[in-house]
Amino acid sequence: MTEHDATRHADARTGWSDSAARAVLQLMVESVAEMIGFEVATLSVVLDGDLVTMAYTGPEEFAEYLSSTDPVSVLDPVLAQAETWGRFRFLAAEDYDASELEGHWMVVAEEQPDVPDAWDPMDVLVGLLTDDDGHLIGAMSVDRPVSGRRPDAAQRRLLERYAAQAERAVVTAFEREELVQQVAHAEAARRLIRSASMPDQASVEAVLDHTHQPLVEGFGASGSWIQVLDPEGLDGGGDGGLGYARTREGEAVVLSDRMVDLAHRLAPRLWEAQQVLVIAEGVEPTLPATADAGPLIEEAVRQLDELGLTSALAVPLGAGTECLGFLVLSRRAQDPAWSAVETGSALQIGYDLGAALMTVRALERERRLVHELQQLDDYRSQLIATLSHELRTPLTVISGNLELLSDLDLGPAAQPYQAAMTRGTVRMQKVVDDLLLLARVSDPQHPLAQVPVDLRTVVTAVVGLVGSTARAKGLTIDRRLDASGLVVAGDAAELDRLLSNLVSNAVKYTPVGGSVTISAERRGGSVVLSVADDGLGISEEDQVGLFRPFFRTTNPDALREPGTGLGLAIVATIAERHRGEVRVRSRLGAGTTFTVTLPAAPTD
């Protein structure tokens, strides 16, 4: 259930809703929806006591609410009853009377999915954005989770992170707007950044394309040129960065390499000095006093002459201390001179457009990094699977031949060597088997075959398997299982392997005479499975990398026990694959408890 704006259209009071801030906030709500998994996300800010929606992603039929407002009091019934999740407030459908929110909230789903901990269409999840003094400045709400479930702990952490970023973006936008509104020509800046509402797949090219027309119209310019200064070459074009030059009518203008080089030399100087450069007849152009300031200005004048232009306004684009680009607006001989108000507004645009470029550049790099990481993970899985398969065949041959050798009378001198080779082969086969399992459960292309699995049955099978080893060490295995409600949806073999690895580890690292306790209980919509021992324990330093493949402890006592370093990585991967999580609580010398939380299977 998402807050909606029901009565009035936003008017001139909404000012900066059409500025660069809106583009940044739009990117944020799209990122929240895409990265965390929600179909609907909105972000509103407080203006004159009203909530004004600035950014929205979701079904088209609700897009009309982008230009409407609501009183801030619409949040009061939610705040009075909701559960606090950091900046967010969650109001479950079963905890309030829906009539209390009529008139200001819209339902964007009609049927509740039949899944554990399902998201109810009447659930409310809204984040409160405040300034440094704690005053409410906006709200971010999300709805219709892709999973059909209420957010888990990991999603809530991500939501909190995005809300913090949105809060800072809104605070910055308000501060900047106060400056922009001090000049009479602030409308030009608003018209400029209004166009920077990004499409779903925002890019630097989209920012440049959407920015051109409002620029030339707002400043009465004959053309515009934006050069993105990026030594990494966002467009793959090398050190020149990305340039976009158009006439007022939208025709492309080809710029020389000397012009691009001039932009790279001028922009950082202007940004450092926080000034613009006006080149026009009767105006003495100024640059920060350096040895080459005069030659740079002369080169700029020559470049304008070659393009047939007589007047230009050059503006640095940046954020913080970083200069990100260079904006040039041109005018014809018959056009008016650049006024002080226009140059002041242009510098404000340099901040706004610089912030938009910074955000989009970060998002593009994030997308590339995610893609590269996915490719790397796929390659790792394929490599592990391929090598494991290649190793399995020769190991099978070696194992078979060792069995044949055992039937031969090789004499007592050969027996120790044969036994050593057999132990090595068995260990290598265990490593290969674990690698193949890890590759399989890590493969996103390998679907999870879900069936109802009673964890009581799994516990019984695992205890039967490791019971003899435990008894041989004089260990006791205690089972504490709820009588019912321990059914989860998943792959029985994988869940058996998950518990086997945990119990085997507990038995392996618990000294003679110790005990291992296996517990399972139902907690709300989850089944909590734990394996506790009073064994060696794990240091805090080792707990950091415990679930990484091939990780081995630094504890010398534990290293005496053989292992592949893959068991806990398999446990964590299977738990995640079943939409669960695994946690460890341990202290060196005082035992260890592993806790796995899995969604309970839906009941009929």
What are the pLDDT digits (tens) for 28-55? 889 888 889 999 999 999 887 888 888 8
- Cα gap 82→104, rounded to integer Å: 17
Reported confidence tier of residue 102, pLDDT bands at 50, 70, 90: low
Which positions ≥6 away from 114 have C-beta within 8 Å? 602
Q: Are 141 and 126 in contact (CB under 8 A)?
A: yes
Q: What is the mean pLDDT of residues 138-146?
A: 91
Reported confidence tier of residue 2, pLDDT bands at 50, 70, 90: low
pLDDT digits (tens, 9 = 90+) for 409-427: 677 777 777 777 777 777 7
Residue 489 structure tokens = 């949806």
Residue 559 CA, distance from chain mean position: 37
3-class SS of residue 378: helix
Q: What is the mean pLDDT of residues 437-451?
A: 75
Question: Chain-wide mean pLDDT for the chain?
Answer: 80
Query: Highest mean pLDDT: which of 67-81, 174-188, 379-393, 435-449?
Result: 67-81
DSSP of 393-418: HHHHHHHHHHHHHHTS---TTTHHHH
Q: According to the model, what pLDDT value does residue 17 have?
A: 44
DSSP of 179-210: HHTTSTTHHHHHHHHHTT---SS--HHHHHHH
Tokens 């507004």 belong to 345
- Cα gap 196→217, rounded to integer Å: 15
Q: Are 392 and 384 in contact (CB under 8 A)?
A: no
Query: Highest mean pLDDT: which of 211-220, 244-253, 285-294?
Result: 244-253
Q: What percent of the chain has pLDDT over 90?
A: 23
Q: Are 20 and 177 in contact (CB under 8 A)?
A: no
Residues counted in the chain: 604
Reported confidence tier of residue 389, pLDDT bands at 50, 70, 90: low
349 or 475, which is more confident? 475
User: Which ranges in 66-185 belong to alpha helices (H)?
Assistant: 76-81, 153-180
Strands 2-3 and 8-9, sheet pairing: unpaired
3-class SS of residue 492: helix
Q: Going from the N-terminus, what domains does the chain have, and what CATH number goes with each? A: 2-180 (3.30.450.40), 186-364 (3.30.450.40), 369-442 (1.10.287.130), 451-599 (3.30.565.10)
- Cα gap 252→513, rounded to integer Å: 82
- Torsion region of 250: left, alpha or beta (phi above 0 gives left; psi -120 to 50 gives alpha): left
pLDDT over 50 at 451, yes or no:
yes
Instruction: Please give the torsion angle defined by the CA atoms of residues 204, 206, 209 and 213, in that order, rounded to the nearest 10 degrees.
Output: -110
What count of other Cβ atoms lies within 10 Å of the Cβ of residue 465? 14
Q: According to the model, what pLDDT value does residue 237 have?
A: 43
3-class SS of residue 573: helix
pLDDT over 60 at 146, yes or no:
yes
pLDDT over 60 at 197, yes or no:
no
3-class SS of residue 549: coil
- Cα gap 20→187, rounded to integer Å: 13
Tokens 């709805």 belong to 143
Distance separating the N- and C-terminal Cα atoms of the chain: 26
- Cα gap 283→180, rounded to integer Å: 25
Tokens 């007849």 belong to 281
> 361-375 b/e with 16+ CB inside 10 Å = b?
bebeeeeeeeeeeee
The sign of the torsion formed by the CA atoms of 537, 539, 544, 550 equals negative
Q: According to the model, what pLDDT value does residue 199 have?
A: 42
Q: Return the H-helix or E-strand segment holding 126.
A: strand 124-130
Say which DSSP state 123 is in: -
Q: According to the model, what pLDDT value does residue 595 have?
A: 95
Rg (CA), the chain: 32
Q: What is the mean pLDDT of residues 196-205?
A: 56
Q: What is the mean pLDDT of residues 129-135?
A: 89
Backbone angles phi, psi at 571, to 5 degrees: -60, -50
pLDDT over 90 at 99, yes or no:
no
Residue 557 structure tokens = 């006592």
pLDDT over 80 at 565, yes or no:
no
Q: According to the model, what pLDDT value does residue 377 have?
A: 64
Residue 36 CA, distance from chain mean position: 7
User: Which ranges in 509-591 belong to alpha helices (H)?
Assistant: 540-544, 556-559, 567-577
Q: Are 135 and 167 in contact (CB under 8 A)?
A: no
The sign of the torsion formed by the CA atoms of 126, 127, 129, 134 equals positive
pLDDT over 80 at 221, yes or no:
yes
- Torsion region of 68: left, alpha or beta (phi above 0 gives left; psi -120 to 50 gives alpha): beta
Tokens 């019971």 belong to 467
Which positions ≥6 away from 234 have C-beta within 8 Å? 204, 228, 241, 242, 361, 364
- Cα gap 108→1, rounded to integer Å: 6
Q: According to the model, what pLDDT value does residue 462 have?
A: 92
Number of H helices, E strands in the chain: 14, 22
430 or 383, which is more confident? 430
pLDDT over 70 at 380, yes or no:
no
Residue 245 structure tokens = 């030059």
Q: What is the mean pLDDT of residues 374-383?
A: 64
Q: According to the model, what pLDDT value does residue 184 have?
A: 41
Q: What is the mean pLDDT of residues 473-489?
A: 91
Which positions ≥6 away from 253 have C-beta within 8 Å? 223, 225, 245, 246, 247, 307
Q: According to the model, what pLDDT value does residue 487 have?
A: 93
493 or 431, which is more confident? 493
Q: What is the pTM of this model?
A: 0.40
pLDDT over 80 at 103, yes or no:
no
Q: What is the mean pLDDT of residues 260-279?
A: 89
Residue 402 structure tokens = 């060792």
Q: What one-letter code names the amino acid at 334?
A: Q
pLDDT over 90 at 90, yes or no:
yes
212 or 515, which is more confident? 515
Residue 389 structure tokens = 């398969």
Q: What percent of the chain has pLDDT over 70?
A: 81
3-class SS of residue 39: strand
Reported confidence tier of residue 485, pLDDT bands at 50, 70, 90: confident
Q: Are 558 and 536 in contact (CB under 8 A)?
A: yes
Instruction: Give the 3-state DSSP-derived string for 233-289, with helices as H, strands as E and coil as C.
Output: CCCCCCCCCEEEEEECCCCECCCCHHHHHHHHHHHHHHHHHCCCEEECCCCCCCCCC
Q: According to the model, what pLDDT value does residue 545 have?
A: 83
